Amino acid sequence: MRVRLPDEISIAIRRHGFIEYELSAFLLRHLRTGATFLDVGAHLGYFTVLAARCVGESGRVVSFEPTPATYALLAQNVADLGNVTAVPAAVWSSPGTLSLTDHGVGYSPYNSAYRSRLPAAVRQRVATTVHEVAAVTLDEYVAARALTPDVVKVDAESAEKNVLEGMGRLLGTVRPVVSLEVGDLDVPGAPRSAELVEFMVGHDYRAYELSDGIPRPHRPRSSYEYDNLVFVAAEKGHLFDV
């Protein structure tokens, strides 16, 4: 993979060869040949490339990344992967356009339609650019292309609820496994993570936390530190019960 120093994801990939061990281990254990994987908030494409190798030539990976400069590097990283489609768009609750704040090379993982999760002192000294970017919903995107996603990874920098609201039909019919970034950092306008968990439970999903990549039943909390939770349709959840 091509990375772009000095952002922290690029540093971790260059130094260790991976990021987010728990989620990586989960996908390596459970993402099967022939599956369809949606990467919402693909950034440079680490999880896209990992998933492409897991699902093989018979599988499909669709990756969404709205920041123009970041998307350009994502496109380079997947150029030789015939089972990957990279989409230069944000995933949202409705189609259209939205304003995305770009914090530049060093802080690109924090680009967001909301106030970034960067500390206030960093936000004040970092130059930013605002892009008007295309927005799509997962429901409309997959319906137009007759896709049946098996796993959806959502890491959307405070926009996770917007993503979920735009995939209600998928949650009710296709019932994919969903990995969801959580973490309460008091971003104005962004719902707390407990609301995201409640939303998924309300769609008859079970919540799991990861330990060495193995899903363990999760008990909802009132507040959350940074983590990735996995949600599995209730009728399929027994597969992960331990």
Structure confidence at residue 33 (pLDDT): 98
Q: Name the token pair of 92.
A: 């949202």
Residue 147 has pLDDT above 90, yes or no: yes
Helix (H) or strand (E) holding 205: strand 205-211
**C-alpha–C-alpha distance, residues 235 and 204, integer Å:** 9
What pLDDT, on the 0 to 100 scale, is given for residue 125?
Answer: 92
Architecture of domain 19-239: 3-Layer(aba) Sandwich (3.40)
High-pLDDT (> 90) share of the chain, %:
95
Q: In what order do the strands lie in the sheet with 96-102?
A: 90-91, 129-136, 96-102
Task: Tell the burial category of 196 from Cβ atoms under 10 Å away from its Cβ (0-12, 13-18, 19+).
Answer: buried
Mean of the per-residue pLDDT values for the chain? Answer: 96
Q: What is the Cα–Cα distance from 129 to 14, expressed in whole angstroms?
A: 26
Q: Which pLDDT score, from 0 to 100, does residue 241 have?
A: 59
Least confident of 20-34, 88-102, 165-179, 227-241: 227-241
Digit-coded pLDDT (tens) for 94-124: 999 999 999 999 999 999 999 999 999 999 9
In sequence order, the β-bridge partners of residue 13 are none
Distance CA 154, CA 42 (A): 9
Q: For the chain, what are the domain ranges? A: 19-239
Give the pLDDT confidence of 206-239 residue by residue, as tens digits. 999 999 999 999 999 999 999 999 999 999 877 6
**pLDDT at position 170 over 60:** yes
Residue 204, pLDDT above cutoff 90:
yes
pLDDT of amino acid 83: 98
Find the mean pLDDT for residues 12-27: 97
pTM for the whole thing? Answer: 0.96
Is the pLDDT score of 37 beyond 70?
yes
Distances (CA, A) of 60 to 25, 27, 38, 55, 163: 19, 14, 8, 7, 20
Q: Measured between alpha carbons, how far is 96 from 66 in angstroms, rounded to an integer?
A: 13
